[in-house]
Structure 1
Amino acid sequence: MQLGLQLGYWGAAPPSNAPELIAAAEDAGFDAVFTAEAWGSDAFTPLAWWGAATSRVRLGTSVVQLSARTPAACAMHALTLDHLSGGRFMLGLGVSGPQVVEGWYGQPFAKPLARTREYVRIVRDVLAREAPVTNDGPHYPLPYTGPGALGLGKPLRPITHPLRADLPILLGAEGPKNVALTAEIADGWLPIFYSPRLAAVYDEWLAEGFARPGARRKREDFEIVSTCQVIVTEDRRSAIDAQKPTLAHYIGGMGAPGMNFHADLIARAGFEDAVAEITALFQAGKRAEAVAAVPDELVDELSIVGDADHVREGIARREAAGVTMLLVGGRTPAEVRALGALVHSDAGVAG
């Protein structure tokens, strides 16, 4: 099992100890460091700034939002970071949701699968640099000839030669069609919540994508990078309770009523009643009650919280389910080093 450090997106201010956490992760044998974005800090800038102090770990985005940038602009970021890091960059992409896409970026959310397919194809064409990039699709036409166009657009190739045409692209996906598309066109999958009890269902979705004509990967060379809070502690009660506010927020507040992909995924894992209750309480402004309604069983399904033996068992369970990397957080360098030592020790599950 590989480990990735998830730095996430910023809250009201930048995290003060990110450089120390990254240094500890690299020293502790972590395979990668990831950043994210929502509607505040972006994912690329912190990765470039902090990643400059690293020499071994891969650097990834989990995730960059499609509607934040055109495909060509995103490809420019990717090829730039790949050069600066010596070929260590991974591009993680996601469609986000209608509240962010239409409310923050002022873009239409409709047809997310078709947009994703078109977006990834353009990014790959830029990175391949085989010809001037054109696209006749409806979502990202190149050259642009729509309303307001002067008709002077010219197909272009990137001035900078990309370091790798096959730079890895991973997709954040939660529903069956999105996961199948990910298996078809991407190099890896970034599930924000991975339920081991749904492993057989995930396998069916992935298999559909791998079986499509022209699929990019096979299962054996496809990465599954799962966000998973891993906390080694003797105080399970306190640690489980500490996870509940975040879960309540994602279930009740990170999506529009009737269209919350996070809530849908968790409901599929067998928590329909809890999701309905948490959503109703959260939307009624009863945040504390919503947090209290998060079942311990749900925290256990999506996180690994307990003593060292319990953590090893939880990691082994996810490894058996097909996860190749756990994307974990860490509050202190000591926590990061301890987790690295646990996973990579002879007593751990893998090295």
Structure 2
Amino acid sequence: MKLGLALGYWGSGPPPGVEEKVAAAEDLGFDSMWSAEAYGSDAFTPLSWLGARTSRMRLGTSVAQMSARTPTATAMAAMTLDHLSGGRAVIGVGASGPQVVEGWYGQPYPKPLARTREYVRIMKDTIAREKVTSDGPHYPIPYPGGTGLGKPLRSTLHPYRTDLPILLAAEGPKNVALAAEIADGWQPLFYAPRQDGHYRDSLEEGFAARGGRPDGFEVVCMVQVVVDDDVEAAADRIRPFLALYIGGMGARGANFHYEVFARMGYPDDCARIQDLYLDGRKDDAAAAVPTSMVEEISLVGPAAKIAEELPVFRDSLITTMVVDGSPEHLRQIVDLVG
């Protein structure tokens, strides 16, 4: 299991100390760094800026929002980054949710699976320097109607490599199966290694559809690691994050993160967390997150406890565990992982 550094997306501005973290991760032998975007900072610019300060770490998006760019534009950014970094780009893409897609990007959300399939195919054709065409219906190329002057084009940029990895962020069973069918890897957001049977089933369904599991298929997952002699104090640092996603990152009946934890066996807790969060009682929502829920997807508590639980994650589907923290914390994680 490799280690990756989580860059995430910015809050009100660039996160302090990020360059020191990246330098520490490179020195500690981390395999990769991963940026994100929602409706603030973008995913590609930080990778270019910070990647120029490294020589070895892979540069991954976790994730680039599909609705932020056309598939050809995402492929252009990917190929450009891959050239600048000497073949270190890894592009994770995701459909996001209707609140962000329609409320920020002004794009339609329905049929996310069909849109994703079409999007990834166009990206692959672009990177392979094919003349890009698509019958749509989501990303028709050339654009139907208009001036009528559009024609199929081939990228003027020759790719650094035509097998540039494309990963798919997915949480629902059908989307996970799609990742296994069309992508080079899967990016879960919340993954419980002790309860991953349904994920394994979905992946196998997708591999069967593509004719077998491809070599090098990746599973890249963020795992929060909090070392503290007090387990509850460690869990308290993660509860607000889970409350935000379960309670606030979506609407009632349309929150994919909520559904992930409900499938883990926490439907009543999820309902309470969401009710409290949507009522504006965010602190109470965080307090309602059970410690056991935190421990399903995180490593929290004394170093000895984390070392004891690490084999569960190491022996899971995860190929790259993405973590965050100060340079000192990153060194501690490396010592624990071994």
Quickly name the TM-score band, shorter chain normalised. over 0.9
Cross-structure match for 1:159: 156
SS in 2 for 1:237: helix
Cross-structure match for 2:201: 204
Match among 153, 166, 169 for residue 172 of structure 1: 169
Shift of 1:334: 1.1
Cross-structure match for 2:298: 303
2:139 is equivalent to residue 140 of structure 1: yes
Cross-structure match for 1:347: none
Match among 313, 323, 333 for residue 339 of structure 1: 333
2:189 is equivalent to residue 192 of structure 1: yes
The two structures have a TM-score, normalised by structure 2, of 0.97
**In structure 2, what residue type is equivalent to 1:273?**
D
**In structure 2, what residue type is equivalent to 1:309?**
A
- Give the distance between the partners of 1:214 and 1:72, measured in 2 at CA: 27
Cross-structure match for 2:319: 324
Instruction: Answer whether contact 1:28 1:341 (CA < 8 A) is retained.
Output: no
2:39 is equivalent to residue 45 of structure 1: no
After superposition, give the CA deviation of every residue in 1:200-224 in whole Å (9 maximum; x if it has no partner). 1111010000000456x43x63111
Instruction: Answer whether contact 2:36 2:64 (CA < 8 A) is retained.
Output: yes
- Give the distance between the partners of 1:201 and 1:213, measured in 2 at CA: 19
Shift of 1:242: 1.0
List alignment gaps of at least 5 residues for structure 2: none
Matches within 5 A, 1:69-80: 69-80=69-80
Instruction: Answer whether contact 1:195 1:302 (CA < 8 A) is retained.
Output: yes
Aligned residues: 338
Matches within 5 A, 1:89-108: 89-108=89-108
Cross-structure match for 1:7: 7
Instruction: Answer whether contact 1:197 1:269 (CA < 8 A) is retained.
Output: no
Cross-structure match for 1:349: none
SS in 1 for 2:209: coil
- Give the distance between the partners of 1:113 and 1:13, measured in 2 at CA: 33
Residue identity (%): 59
SS in 2 for 1:194: coil
SS in 2 for 1:38: coil
Cross-structure match for 1:60: 60
Query: Of the two structures, which has the highest relative contact order with CA contacts closer than 8 Å and spacing of 6 or more?
Result: 1
- Give the distance between the partners of 1:213 and 1:166, measured in 2 at CA: 17
- Give the distance between the partners of 2:297 and 2:76, measured in 1 at CA: 35
- Give the distance between the partners of 1:188 and 1:310, measured in 2 at CA: 30
Instruction: Answer whether contact 1:171 1:190 (CA < 8 A) is retained.
Output: yes
Instruction: Answer whether contact 1:98 1:256 (CA < 8 A) is retained.
Output: no
- Give the distance between the partners of 2:279 and 2:66, measured in 1 at CA: 31
Instruction: Answer whether contact 2:171 2:188 (CA < 8 A) is retained.
Output: yes
After superposition, give the CA deviation of every residue in 1:168-214 in whole Å (9 maximum; x if it has no partner). 11111000000000000111111000012322111101000000045
Match among 198, 221, 231 for residue 226 of structure 2: 231
Instruction: Answer whether contact 2:194 2:312 (CA < 8 A) is retained.
Output: no
After superposition, give the CA deviation of every residue in 1:119-154 in whole Å (9 maximum; x if it has no partner). 00000001111x3111112000110014xx111112
- Give the distance between the partners of 2:309 and 2:125, measured in 1 at CA: 40
Cross-structure match for 1:285: 280
- Give the distance between the partners of 1:272 and 1:197, measured in 2 at CA: 18
After superposition, give the CA deviation of every residue in 1:51-88 in whole Å (9 maximum; x if it has no partner). 10001111100000000000000000000000011001
SS in 1 for 2:238: helix
203-212 vs 309-318, greater mean Cα deviation: 309-318
**In structure 2, what residue type is equivalent to 1:337?**
R
**In structure 1, what residue type is equivalent to 2:302?**
D
List alignment gaps of at least 5 residues for structure 1: 345-351
Instruction: Answer whether contact 2:43 2:61 (CA < 8 A) is retained.
Output: yes
Instruction: Answer whether contact 1:25 1:340 (CA < 8 A) is retained.
Output: no
Shift of 1:225: 0.9
After superposition, give the CA deviation of every residue in 1:240-289 in whole Å (9 maximum; x if it has no partner). 11111110000000012210000000110011110000001111111111
SS in 2 for 1:79: helix
Match among 239, 255, 259 for residue 260 of structure 1: 255
Instruction: Answer whether contact 1:57 1:88 (CA < 8 A) is retained.
Output: yes
2:244 is equivalent to residue 249 of structure 1: yes
- Give the distance between the partners of 1:169 and 1:343, measured in 2 at CA: 27
Cross-structure match for 1:150: 147
After superposition, give the CA deviation of every residue in 1:286-313 in whole Å (9 maximum; x if it has no partner). 1111111110111111110122232223
- Structural RMSD (CA): 1.2
